[in-house]
Amino acid sequence: MAESLPLADRSVREVAVSLRRRELSSRELTRACLDRIARDAGRLNTFLAVGEEAAMATAGDADRALAEGDDRPLLGIPYALKDIFVTRALDEAGAPTGGLPTTAGSRILEGYRSPYASAAEERLGDAGAVLLGKTNCDEFAMGSSNENSAFGPVRNPWDEATVPGGSSGGSSAAVAAGQAFFALGTDTGGSIRQPAALCGIVGLKPTYGRVSRYGMVAFASSLDQCGPLTRSVEDAATVLGALAGHDPRDSTSVAERVPDYRAALTGDLHGVRLGVPREYFVAGMEPGVEASVRAAIDQLASLGARIVDVSLPSTDRGLATYYIIAPAEASANLARYDGVRYGFSAGASDLLDNYRETRGRGFGAEVKRRIMLGTYALSAGYYDAYYVKAQQVRTLIKREFDAVLADCDALVAPTSPSVAFPIGAKVDDPLLMYLNDACTLPVNIAGLPGISVPCGLSDGLPVGLQVIGKAFDEPMVLRVADAYERSAGYADLRPPTSV
């Protein structure tokens, strides 16, 4: 039962009710999270920076606002930001304010203090939420296991010998372990949904353009999107409501109306057509994952949804398409780390040597691999064969999604082909690691919204069900996931090690 869960493990909705009834204060919630963070710091390695003093001060402000009847849904709720969002740490004169550093999980941003705030920090601050700190992640969000962080791997609270997934591994593990009531992640090829699945929580990647990317350290700009990691679908709807909307500072942000996402959670699926893309049940998928996902689809049918078999024939081209487009964009985006304007500098006496040494020493292995891959794909003689070709196949993948979504309200599929795997198991084989995202990255290629919701355990580790929707149809994605969550009984799923 939800009420019996320890304070730090409850959903945003539950504690928001308690805050309004004065049964709890934001200071108590914040303290409970800070205690968990301190208790598990050495075990899970989820946070790269914690702002205890600022968090307690913000919580105090929230308690005063609550006492005056302020009813904003996230008021006083403690949360964490993936350390890919910049947080303002300098005043107008350029002096440190004591604000949190930003590393993107990389040594190359050593010592960096952001002169401005990300849209995410601003919007959640305006919503009255309490920022606890910045979470560990794969370097520049490149990875599926959180093993590519320059600050050590994050451990999965379900089994500390396994990875939490990535790249938003710190955010996911923190939410699963009761260290934050929600967290933000970023998703370029599955980096919100896959770690959510592996940590047994909810992770939502909104439509490309739905949430501002301003102040999000760029990885692949045509694929990156920011979204919430939460303990329930309703909480994801609440956080998305605070994040979504046009931002003139991100020219790819869309001026589409922001609907009331929580109002979409009707619990009813009668008349809803759900497509099951057969190519998503790939060879190599773990039988326990397939069984859980198939059972979840049966459950959706029992709730009144019409289940239809559909085909997305280019699915197996997704991985190749992604691993050309994403590294190509990354190689261009990461050109900015030059050792001149900010971050680590090798201090060589010649400018060209300084570029090479700064980047050679500042970037980790996976980031270098992707810069090399992207630079190769964009270089003279290979541009058409790789980059343009991948953009053409991107068109095909998008058209196939458009065609099946013209006939279905949403698609349901596995989030990840496997449960959490042992730390170290895939680090020596990049291609094997990339396969973790086979079911999530086509969604980024097409720019669609997708959510992962827990659908059971396999070998004692969480499995995620993915729901994919039409562009800007987050209400349908949330509605399907919420209806499933309510009937499936996994909403109170918490890792055995968290308490």
Partner 1 sequence: MISRQDVEHVAALARLGLSADEIDLMQGQLSRILEAVAQLRDVDTSQIGPTAQVIGLENVMREDEARAGLGRELALANAPLREGPLLRVPVILEEGR
- Check residue 356 for interaction with partner 1 (CB under 8 A): yes
User: Binder to partner 1 among 32, 108, 117, 373 (CB under 8 A)?
Assistant: 373
Sort strands 410-414 and 306-310 into parallel, antiparallel or unpaired.
Answer: unpaired
Q: Is-catalytic flag, 82?
A: yes
Instruction: Provide the residue type at 408 as one letter.
Output: C
Q: Is 94 exposed, middle or buried (0-12, 13-18, 19+ CB in 10 A)?
A: exposed
Residues in 418-457 at the binding interface with partner 1, rule: CB under 8 A: 430-431, 446-447
Residues in 458-487 at the binding interface with partner 1, rule: CB under 8 A: 471
* Two tokens, residue 45: 């390695």
**Residues 313 and 400: beta-carbon distance below 8 Å:** yes
* Two tokens, residue 356: 């090479």
Cis-peptide into 167, omega within 30 deg = yes
The three-point CA angle 139-98-89 to 5° equals 55
Kindly state the DSSP code that residue 315 receives in the 8-state scheme: G
- Cβ distance to partner 1 smaller for residue 4 or 349: 349
Sort strands 182-187 and 225-230 into parallel, antiparallel or unpaired.
Answer: antiparallel
Q: What is the CA radius of gyration of the chain?
A: 21
Minimum distance from residue 119 beta carbon to partner 1 (Å): 16
State the number of binding residues for partner 1 (CB under 8 A).
75
Per CB under 8 A, the segment of 25-33, 57-65, 117-125, 350-358 that binds partner 1 is 350-358
**Phi and psi, residue 91, nearest 5°:** -90, 180
**Residues 441 and 189: beta-carbon distance below 8 Å:** yes
Residues in 247-306 at the binding interface with partner 1, rule: CB under 8 A: 248, 251-252, 254
Residues in 23-52 at the binding interface with partner 1, rule: CB under 8 A: none
- Cβ distance to partner 1 smaller for residue 147 or 482: 147
User: Binder to partner 1 among 386, 421, 484, 490 (CB under 8 A)?
Assistant: 386
Residues in 107-136 at the binding interface with partner 1, rule: CB under 8 A: 111-113, 115-116
User: Binder to partner 1 among 390, 405, 410, 413 (CB under 8 A)?
Assistant: 390
Q: Is-catalytic flag, 134?
A: no
* Two tokens, residue 334: 């990461």
Which SS3 state, helix, strand or coil, does residue 432 take?
helix
User: Binder to partner 1 among 98, 152, 347, 460 (CB under 8 A)?
Assistant: 347
Q: Given 82, 134, 205, 426, which residue is catalytic?
A: 82
Minimum distance from residue 362 beta carbon to partner 1 (Å): 10
- Check residue 243 for interaction with partner 1 (CB under 8 A): no
User: Binder to partner 1 among 5, 295, 320, 491 (CB under 8 A)?
Assistant: 320
Distance CA 452, CA 467 (A): 7
User: Binder to partner 1 among 214, 344, 421, 490 (CB under 8 A)?
Assistant: 344
Catalytic residues: 82, 167, 191
